[in-house]
């Protein structure tokens, strides 16, 4: 996995959480300690953290560098900043988005709002603007656009397809592997294939993306894990920054983060030709105005 630029303090812990699956076991233990209690890590010496994580000081340094920092002191400063931002947030709301069995419905509403707000804030803070620009460039000039999303990611794929279609682009969404593979087998240079997967490890998204790349189409991944197989397979990776907690299978905060990126892509494409955009949106609105 390539070393990333140091994340902004507001999104640092979420980004580390997203990178955990790609780390070696010893480095992963350090990352898990950071995600579990970043404030404590920010106060710990490198020796204390290494002992607590059953590893060595050089491993902690390697972890810091893998996260994009020059060393452990720089990581501690960033964690302290993240802790300060979090302290300001928690003064207004719940400590985390984790749901407990004894929570009241009022607490559930507050925690869900907190987790979703974090997903939006962290994703927009960390979104790779050059990658977004490249995705918009590819979509504006695309002959055909195939959007792949299976299960909960299918909701995101459907939303993006509907938005791009209303701009007059030739877009179609696929929600199973067979349909996706059949479609992308006929694609080539000038076409764009977008695959949506929070984990980036969904075979039903990876296989069509790989085939599309082999056919010469431009491929875009929308995922939460920049080191995932899907992100590495695609030409362009649009990365969300969020951590699912209690009801991961419900795809709650991850879906919100994906839809934020979808909106950024849609507006980016729409603003390339505002006259054509207004014309297309007006025409599609009038078509259903009387229904």
95-129 pLDDT, tens per residue? 555 677 888 998 888 888 888 888 888 888 889 99
User: From edge to edge, which strands make up the β-sheet containing 192-196?
Assistant: 171-174, 145-149, 192-196, 218-223, 236-239
**Is residue 161 one of the residues assigned to a domain?**
yes
Please report, for the domain that includes residue 279, its CATH number. Answer: 3.40.50.10490
Q: How high is the mean pLDDT of the chain? A: 87
- Do 79 and 128 fall within a single domain? no
Domain of 241 in residue numbering reads as 123-290
Domain count, the chain: 2
Task: From 68, 83, 98, give the residue that closes a domain.
Answer: 83
**How does residue 3 score in pLDDT terms, banded at 50, 70 and 90?**
very low
- Do 46 and 170 fall within a single domain? no
Q: What is the 3-state secondary structure (H, E, C) of 50-64?
A: HHHCCCCHHHHHHHH
Query: What is the model's pLDDT at position 94?
Result: 46
- Do 153 and 61 fall within a single domain? no
Phi/psi at 29 (nearest 5 deg)? -65, -40
> What are the C-alpha distances in Å from 236 to residues 77, 193, 230, 244?
31, 10, 10, 24
Query: What is the model's pLDDT at position 244?
Result: 59
Query: What is the model's pLDDT at position 251?
Result: 64
d(CA 132, CA 240): 12
Q: What is the mean pLDDT of residues 220-225?
A: 95
Query: Hey, what are 26's tokens?
Result: 């010893």
Task: From 28, 62, 83, give the residue that closes a domain.
Answer: 83
**Is residue 29 one of the residues assigned to a domain?**
yes
**Is residue 24 one of the residues assigned to a domain?**
yes
Asked if residue 234 has pLDDT above 80, the reply is: yes
**Is residue 104 one of the residues assigned to a domain?**
no
**Is residue 69 one of the residues assigned to a domain?**
yes
Query: What is the model's pLDDT at position 4?
Result: 46
DSSP state of 8: P
Asked if residue 38 has pLDDT above 90, the reply is: no
**How does residue 265 score in pLDDT terms, banded at 50, 70 and 90?**
very high
Local structure of 44: helix, strand or coil: coil
- Do 167 and 266 fall within a single domain? yes
Residue-wise pLDDT tens digits, 154-199: 999 999 999 999 999 999 999 999 999 999 999 999 999 999 999 9
Residue-wise pLDDT tens digits, 47-85: 999 999 999 999 999 999 998 899 999 999 888 887 775
Query: Hey, what are 271's tokens?
Result: 């603003």
- Do 41 and 134 fall within a single domain? no
Query: What is the model's pLDDT at position 147?
Result: 98
Does this model's pTM top 0.85? My answer is: no
- Do 129 and 60 fall within a single domain? no
- Do 191 and 241 fall within a single domain? yes
Task: From 58, 83, 108, give the residue that closes a domain.
Answer: 83
């Amino acid at each position: 996995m390539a070393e990333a630029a140091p994340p902004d303090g507001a999104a640092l812990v979420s980004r580390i959480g997203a990178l955990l699956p790609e780390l070696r076991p010893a480095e992963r233990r350090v990352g898990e300690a950071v995600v579990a209690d970043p404030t404590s890590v920010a106060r710990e010496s490198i020796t204390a953290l290494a002992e607590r994580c059953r590893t060595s000081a050089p491993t902690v340094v390697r972890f810091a560098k893998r996260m994009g920092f020059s060393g452990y002191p720089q990581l501690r400063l960033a964690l302290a900043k993240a802790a300060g931002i979090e302290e300001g947030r928690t003064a207004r709301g719940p400590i985390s988005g984790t749901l407990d069995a004894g929570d009241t419905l009022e607490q559930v509403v507050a925690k869900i709002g907190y987790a979703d707000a974090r997903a939006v804030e962290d994703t927009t803070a960390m979104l790779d603007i050059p990658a977004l620009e490249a995705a918009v460039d590819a979509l504006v000039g695309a002959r055909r656009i195939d959007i792949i999303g299976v299960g909960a990611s299918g909701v995101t794929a459907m939303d993006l397809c509907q938005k791009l279609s209303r701009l007059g682009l030739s877009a179609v969404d696929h929600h199973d592997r067979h349909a996706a593979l059949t479609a992308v087998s006929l694609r080539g240079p000038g076409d764009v294939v977008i695959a949506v997967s929070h984990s980036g490890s969904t075979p039903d998204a990876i296989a069509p993306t790989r085939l599309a790349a082999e056919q010469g189409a431009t491929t875009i991944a929308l995922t939460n894990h920049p080191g995932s197989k899907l992100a590495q397979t695609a030409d362009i990776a649009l990365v969300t920054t969020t951590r699912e907690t209690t009801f991961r299978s419900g795809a709650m905060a991850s879906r919100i983060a994906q839809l934020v990126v979808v909106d950024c892509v849609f507006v980016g494409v729409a603003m390339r030709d505002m006259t054509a955009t207004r014309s297309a949106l007006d025409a599609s609105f009038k078509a259903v105005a009387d229904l």
